[in-house]
Structure formats: structure tokens, C-alpha cells
Structure 1
């Protein structure tokens, strides 16, 4: 009996004390990596924020699972895809709601935002300048406003959140990817014309740990 008690006393504290080693790797920009950095910061994780330059990327790229960044390394195993990482961190920090339907609502609204960024990004990467200008003109008139109005309405209905009327991992995607959205979407003052975007961003960056992180990076 005494041996069993001692065994339990030994194993349990050791299990509780073991901490995962986390390394998050991405370029030294916000891009698709900032949402993950924000989530890790919110979760109070001790993680290595590994930032590399475009010149260093070719050397690092073969080490990644899919030849893409960002990646997160947990106890020596590397995982990819920014949304998969964000969703994982959302589950880990209980930012996913209470039911599978809650999770579905977050996913569908995040996917709507990503659809917009990808559509704009496709035009942004168009190499022909004249065609790029024409595509942007058409999309700014007939495509982008519908996405922006829908998202603005969703954010407004949810009190400055992407879903469920409260903080979820999807809010960190909005806040973290907003600079990327503005880069590929040449519509000045998006946050003024669609103010609910700014409300989501403010809700995230008003969190004390996120505020401290942001100020430290200035």
C-alpha cells in the first residue's frame, strides 16, 4: 500500500510539471502567422517566436511538412496550416463554444473571411498590371462589397465578435489577418466604412496579454 501511495505521489506531480516545448515559425511579418501568435499569447504559452527572413526561407522550407509557413513545433513534431493551428489552439484554450454547432458557426464565418482574402489575393498576385487593374475594378464594384457587408453584419450581430456573441478563436483570425486583408484589398478605410471589423480587432487587442504583446512589438 505504501509503495502504491509513493508511486502515485511520484508520477502525478511529474506529469503535471512536464511542459510542452513549442516553437512557432513564420516570416517576420503579421501575414498568416499573427493570429497564431496572438492565440499562443492569449493562452499564456511559453513559446519560441521563430521569425525568419525571405532570404532564410529556402533553407527552412524543406524542414516543413508541406513546404509552407507558418508551422508550429510541439515537442519536436511539426504541424502546418495557419487555420488548423488556430483551430487547435482555440480548442486548447476553450475558445470554440459549447457544442458542435457552435464550432460549425465559428468555422463557417471564418471561412467566409478567408474566401474574401483568397479572392483578393488571387488578383493581387496577377502579374499583368493592366489585367490586375481591370480585375480589381470589377471586384471592388461587384464582389468585395458583398463579402464586407456580410461580415460587417455578422460582427455587428455578435457584438464585435465573429460568432456566438463572445470571444472565440475566430476573433483572433480577424485581428491577426486584417493587415493581410488590407494589403490585398485596395479599398481605403475598410474599418471606417465597415466599423464592426475594427470592433472585433479592438476586442482582441484590449485583452491585457495581447495589448502587452502588441506594445512590445512596436
Structure 2
């Protein structure tokens, strides 16, 4: 009788908690053994051409590499029972993740602007004309879904948000974000206190 070996997983990412952290948490939730390949900044130029799209995070399964953080999180969500029960429910998860990515991408572009004067003007415009609507709407969605991103229950979208939240606060540069939108911090804490996730984080700080 032949037995197929368990697949081997490797996660490539930098030594930081940003877009790769949601994947990290999902692997912990799924009790998936994997090798962490934390990349050093000085090693990245040589490694970049070896990645599928020249980016990380990258999840490698049995030697085959898969990229794009949302695609990886969606795959793991399906694997661990954290997706919708049909395509309509998956649609609801996808739309909130895309909206969340709109917020993250806007904040990231502003944060990484190198011209201080331009950066200040963009941040002012964001805080006046964009963030109030976007963050309020996200807060309303999470509240409506009983503290979750979608479907009123735990999905892979919650892990994406929870893993990125500390970094998102840095990118947004809004000092009272937790106070203005308490649902955000509560959602992060809800994910981080899941027994499987908590045990994984204690073992893998």
C-alpha cells in the first residue's frame, strides 16, 4: 500500500506584521505545520527575481509557489472552513476585502510618499475627504455583522484584517482610531483570542 506524504508548506515574508500576518494567523488556525522563511532586507534583491511576481508574501506548497496575499488568504480560508457556503456568500466576503484593500492602499501610498510637503497635503485630504466615509462605513459593516467583516460569522476576511490592523493604524496615522472605531480593535482581539490562534502565537511570537 502506498501512502502520500503530507504536503510541505513554506511561507516567505519579511520580518514584520503587515499583509503577510493574516496568512500567518490562518496557518496557525488550521494547525498547519510550515517553515517560516523570514527574509532580510539585504537578501531581498537576490531573492526578488525568484518570486512569482517579484513580491511577497509567497506560500510554497510542495515546491510550487503561490503569490498575492488575498489569493493565499482566500485559499486557506476555503481549506479551513472559513469561506462562504456558496458563491453568493463568497461574493460578500470578497467585496468587503476589496473595500478594505482600497483603504489600505490609499493609506500605504500616503505613508510611503517621500516628499514631506506632498505627503502632508495628501494626508490632510485623506482625513478630510476620504477616511471619514471609508472608516465609518467599515465600522458600520463590522458592527452590522456582529463584530465580523462579513456574513455575521468568522471568515478568512477577519484574519486578513486582524493580522494587518496594527500596521494599518501606522499607515493611517490617526492617533485615536481605536476610540473612534472601537469595532476595529474588538475584531482584532476576537481573532487573536481564538484558542488555536492564541496557542500558535504563544509558540511562534
User: What TM bracket, shorter-length normalisation?
Assistant: over 0.9
Q: Point out where structure 2 has 5 or more consecutive residues left out of the alignment.
A: none
Out of 161, 171, 175, the residue aligned to residue 184 of structure 1 is 171
Q: Which moved more, 1:167-176 or 1:137-146?
A: 137-146
Structure 2 residue 114 is matched with structure 1 residue 127 = yes
Task: Figure out how many residues of one structure are paired with residues of the other and give that number.
Answer: 205
What is the CA–CA distance in structure 2 between the aligned matches of 1:24 and 1:43, rounded to whole Å? 14
* Structure 1 residue runs of 4 or more that deviate by more than 6 Å after TM superposition: none
| Match runs of 1:2-13 below 5 Å | 10-11=1-2
Offset at 1:126? 1.6
Superposition deviation, residue 215 in structure 1: 3.1
1:77-124 Cα shifts (integer Å, max 9, x gaps): 111110010001011111112111100000001111110010111111
The correspondence of residues 136-151 of structure 1 with structure 2, limited to 5 A, is 136-151=123-138
Partners of 1:74 and 1:217 in 2: CA distance: 20
Match of 2:47 among 33, 42, 60: 60
Offset from partner CA, 1:178-214 (integer Å, 9 cap, x none): 1221121110131221011112111101111211233
How many angstroms does 1:141 deviate by?
A: 1.3
Partner SS for 1:143: helix
* Residue 101 in structure 1 maps to residue 88 in structure 2: yes
Equivalent in the alignment of 1:203: 190
Where does residue 3 of structure 1 map in the other structure?
none
Q: 2:41 is paired with a residue of what secondary structure?
A: coil
Mapped pair 1:110 → 2:110: no
Deviation at 1:217, TM superposition (A): 4.6
Contact 2:20 2:69 in 1 (8 A): yes
CA contact (8 A) 2:29 2:200 kept: no
